């Protein structure tokens, strides 16, 4: 893709937009960087670059700029009036993922779904690193892909976590292996309906050919049916049934059937990361490895050694017999339901944040069944309280800050309990991202427990 001397409008001056701008300038493009903030943080080098122009604190004038194409941040909805106008004018609108794909030499393994994306992406990345592939892990986690994608050779692999927002901005993107982990309500404030949400996720395989692979959750009826639309080779994974081709449980082993050959990989209890959801994530990793020719013995060893990812059921310390777990990445009710299901001990939970258009009824029921106490926080605390009140669970405490929230968990927990941060909400009401929320939780746990 030759973009030298092209005019490119980049929408959004956050991490993705900044890295995209740097990349485009390095390729000789003239870049117009737009952001609704009047003074976003940008590198000093931008202002000194003759091909850089800023449009801050306002919407861009498409007719005046007349860009050759537009790169949109995943956070920006595509129904903005100026983007609709650009589309009517025949101006191509893509996201950073699509831009990265056009400059990539190596094949992609793309992972999407409501929950499990980060763990599955990190696991698969570790698997291919261990197998000796030159591997890039990125997308919706880590650095934007565009910063490193050209460094990966043809015989390497690019493992990308991909959100529904990123998939809205693709055109030609076609991963060699596509994975949809599951689908439960999330981002309804943007997608409006589950049908729209599904269609956004399904875009991950819309450009695949018969030489590509699609890995889907057999136990999710909607996702299973979606596989009928695929042009690629569909493999399923299941915790509940044996299936003809894919990954499943048989005779006490995680087993794979592929190309007419059945192999036992590992006993589930040997997998380091625990919980039924992590068994599914492991099945995705096993299948990705098998179709790329990784030895079953090596796959099994990685599953024994892989410790999981930060902020997802992350062990954050044990003090006076109380285990503290950081699940800040539990940003929707379904993710937090899976977290709650992972423990048999009494739980003290920190819940709340910014709701993304989800219902808390099932989450409240799970709190009643699994938790001895709940600390409610953030914009959604009253909504969660309302659901808890409906079902007669009143052992909760409302707070306005994390210092008080964590201190309360220390006060009410006892030996043998699990203190679990799994908010079922986004962090944006109080923190820029879930990572900072999780890090503050971990720091406060140490502060209030170290004597």
Better-scored residue on pLDDT, 422 or 451:
422
pLDDT given for residue 187 in this prediction = 64
What is the b/e burial string over 257-271, where b = at least 16 CB atoms within 10 angstroms of the residue's CB?
Answer: bbeeeeeebbebeeb
Residues of the chain with pLDDT > 90: what percent?
80
Mean pLDDT across the chain: 93
| CA-based torsion, 148, 231, 244, 257: positive or negative | negative
Band of pLDDT at residue 117, cut at 50, 70 and 90? confident
Please tell me whether residues 296 and 318 are part of one structural domain: no
Please tell me whether residues 112 and 231 are part of one structural domain: yes
Please tell me whether residues 54 and 158 are part of one structural domain: no
CATH of the domain at 380: 3.90.190.20
Question: Which of 67, 90, 113 is the endpoint of a domain?
Answer: 90
Please tell me whether residues 107 and 250 are part of one structural domain: yes
* 27 domain-assigned: yes
**Predicted confidence (pLDDT) per residue in 326-339, tens digit:** 999 999 998 899 89
Please tell me whether residues 15 and 156 are part of one structural domain: no
pLDDT given for residue 447 in this prediction = 94
Domain ranges, residue 348: 314-449
What domain count does the chain have? 3
Please tell me whether residues 188 and 265 are part of one structural domain: yes
**Predicted confidence (pLDDT) per residue in 160-218, tens digit:** 999 888 998 899 999 999 999 988 766 656 667 878 888 889 999 999 999 999 999 99
pLDDT given for residue 425 in this prediction = 96
Return the minimum-mean-pLDDT range out of 91-100, 237-246, 272-281, 387-396. Answer: 272-281
Can you tell me the distance from the alpha carbon of 317 to that of 310, in angstroms, rounded to the nearest whole number?
13
User: Is it the case that residue 359 has pLDDT exceeding 90?
Assistant: yes
* 222 domain-assigned: yes
Please tell me whether residues 392 and 321 are part of one structural domain: yes
| Cα separations in angstroms, 381 against 358, 363, 429, 430 | 13, 13, 11, 13
**Predicted confidence (pLDDT) per residue in 33-57, tens digit:** 999 999 999 999 998 899 999 999 9
Please tell me whether residues 273 and 384 are part of one structural domain: no
**Predicted confidence (pLDDT) per residue in 235-289, tens digit:** 999 999 999 999 999 999 999 999 999 999 999 999 988 888 899 999 999 999 9
pLDDT given for residue 442 in this prediction = 96
CATH of the domain at 69: 3.40.50.720
Return the minimum-mean-pLDDT range out of 20-29, 74-83, 372-381. Answer: 74-83
Please tell me whether residues 318 and 301 are part of one structural domain: no
pLDDT given for residue 75 in this prediction = 81
pLDDT given for residue 188 in this prediction = 59
Please tell me whether residues 132 and 263 are part of one structural domain: yes
Please tell me whether residues 129 and 147 are part of one structural domain: yes
Mean of pLDDT values over 404-416: 96
Please tell me whether residues 417 and 370 are part of one structural domain: yes
């Amino acid at each position: 893709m030759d973009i030298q001397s092209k005019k490119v409008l980049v929408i959004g001056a956050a991490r993705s937009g900044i890295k995209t701008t740097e990349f485009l300038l390095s390729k000789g493009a003239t870049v117009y960087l737009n952001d609704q903030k009047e003074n976003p943080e940008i590198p000093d080098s931008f202002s000194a670059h003759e091909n850089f122009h800023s449009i801050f604190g306002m919407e861009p004038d498409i007719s005046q700029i007349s860009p050759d194409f537009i790169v949109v941040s995943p956070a920006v909805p595509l129904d903005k009036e100026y983007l609709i106008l650009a589309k009517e004018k025949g101006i191509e609108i893509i996201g950073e993922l699509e831009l990265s794909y056009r400059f990539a030499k190596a094949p992609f393994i793309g992972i999407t779904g409501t929950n499990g994306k980060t763990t599955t992406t990190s696991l698969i990345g570790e698997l291919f690193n261990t197998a000796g592939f030159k591997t890039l892990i990125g997308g919706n986690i880590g650095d934007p892909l565009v910063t490193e994608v050209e460094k990966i050779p043809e015989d390497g692999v690019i493992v990308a976590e991909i959100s529904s927002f990123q998939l809205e901005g693709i055109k030609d993107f076609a991963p060699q292996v596509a994975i949809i982990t599951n689908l439960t309500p999330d981002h309804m404030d943007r997608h409006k309906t589950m049908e729209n949400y599904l269609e956004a996720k399904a875009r991950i395989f819309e450009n695949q050919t018969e030489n590509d692979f699609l890995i889907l959750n057999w136990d999710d009826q909607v996702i299973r049916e979606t596989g009928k639309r695929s042009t690629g080779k569909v493999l399923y994974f299941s915790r509940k049934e044996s299936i003809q081709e894919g990954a499943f449980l048989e005779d006490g082993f995680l087993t794979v059937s592929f190309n007419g050959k059945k192999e036992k990989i590992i006993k589930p209890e040997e997998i380091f990361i625990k919980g039924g959801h992590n068994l599914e994530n492991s099945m995705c990793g096993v299948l990705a490895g098998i179709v790329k020719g990784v030895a079953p013995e090596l796959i099994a060893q990685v599953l024994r050694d892989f410790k999981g990812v930060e902020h997802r059921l992350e062990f954050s310390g044990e003090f006076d017999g109380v285990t503290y777990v950081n699940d800040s990445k539990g940003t929707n009710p379904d993710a937090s339901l899976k977290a709650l299901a992972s423990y048999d001990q009494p739980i003290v939970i920190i819940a709340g944040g910014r709701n993304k258009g989800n219902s808390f009824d099932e989450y409240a029921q799970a709190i009643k069944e699994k938790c001895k106490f709940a600390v409610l926080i953030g914009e959604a605390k009253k909504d969660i309280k309302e659901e808890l009140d409906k079902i007669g669970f009143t052992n909760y405490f409302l707070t306005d800050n994390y210092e008080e929230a964590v201190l309360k968990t220390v006060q009410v927990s006892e030996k043998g309990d699990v203190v679990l941060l799994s908010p079922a909400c986004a962090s944006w009401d109080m923190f820029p991202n879930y990572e900072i929320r999780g890090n503050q939780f971990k720091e406060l746990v140490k502060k209030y427990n170290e004597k």
